[in-house]
Amino acid sequence: VIGAAGKIANQVLPAMRERYELTLLDLRDTNRQGQPVEGVQVADLLNPDRDTYRSHFTGVDAVVHFGFASAGRSDTDAYFQAELSNVQMAYNVYQTSVEEGVRRVVVASSNHAADYYEALILDGQRDFIDPDGRAQSDNYYGWAKEVYEHLGFVFAAGKQSVRPLENVHIRIGGPRETDVSSCEPGDMRCVRRALGAYISERDMQQLFVRSIEAEDIRDEQGVPFQIFYGISDNSRAFWSIVNARKVIGYEPQDNSEIRFADL
1 lies in a domain? Answer: no
Going by DSSP bridges, is the β-strand pair 225-230/104-110 parallel, antiparallel, or unpaired?
unpaired
Report yes or no on 2 lying in a domain.
no
**What is the arithmetic mean of pLDDT over 152-159?**
97
Q: Is the CB of residue 69 less than 8 Å from the CB of residue 85?
A: yes
Half-sphere exposure of 193 (CA within 13 A, CB side): 19
Residue 66, classified by CB atoms within 10 Å of its CB into exposed (0-12), middle (13-18) or buried (19+), is buried
pLDDT surpasses 90 at 103: yes
Does the pLDDT of residue 187 top 90, yes or no?
yes
Q: Flag whether pLDDT at 91 surpasses 90.
A: yes
d(CA 224, CA 82): 29
* C-beta of residue 251 within 8 angstroms of C-beta of residue 219: no
Span 16-28, mean pLDDT?
A: 98
Q: What is the mean pLDDT of the chain?
A: 96
Is 143 contained in some domain?
Answer: yes
User: Domain containing 33 — which CATH number?
Assistant: 3.40.50.720
Quick one: pLDDT at residue 75? 87
Measured from the Cβ of residue 187, the count of other Cβ atoms closer than 10 Å reads 12
User: Does residue 98 fall inside a structural domain?
Assistant: yes
> How many domains does the structure of the chain reveal?
1
The answer on pLDDT for 262 being more than 90 is no
Whole-angstrom distance, CA of residue 137 vs CA of residue 141 = 8
Going by C-alpha positions, the residue among 178, 183, 198 that lies closest to residue 252 is 198
pLDDT at 71: 81
pTM, rounded to two decimals: 0.96
pLDDT tens across 224-259, in order? Answer: 999 999 999 999 999 999 999 999 999 999 999 999
163 domain residue, yes or no: yes
pLDDT at 231: 99
Q: pLDDT of 26-73, one tens digit each? A: 999 999 899 999 999 999 999 999 999 999 999 999 999 999 998 877
> Residue 191 pLDDT more than 80?
yes
- Domain of 153, in residue numbers: 7-259
> Is pLDDT at 183 greater than 80 in this prediction?
yes
pLDDT at position 74: 79
Q: Would you call 118 helix, strand, or coil by DSSP?
A: helix
Above 80 in pLDDT, residue 154? yes
b/e code 199-208 from CB counts within 10 Å (16+ = b)? bbeebbbbbb
Mean pLDDT of 144-157: 98
**Considering Cα of 61, then 200, then 194, then 251, what sign does the dihedral take?**
positive
Cα–Cα distance for residue pair 143/139, rounded to 1 Å: 6
Tell me which amino acid residue 246 is: K
Quote the pLDDT of residue 72.
75
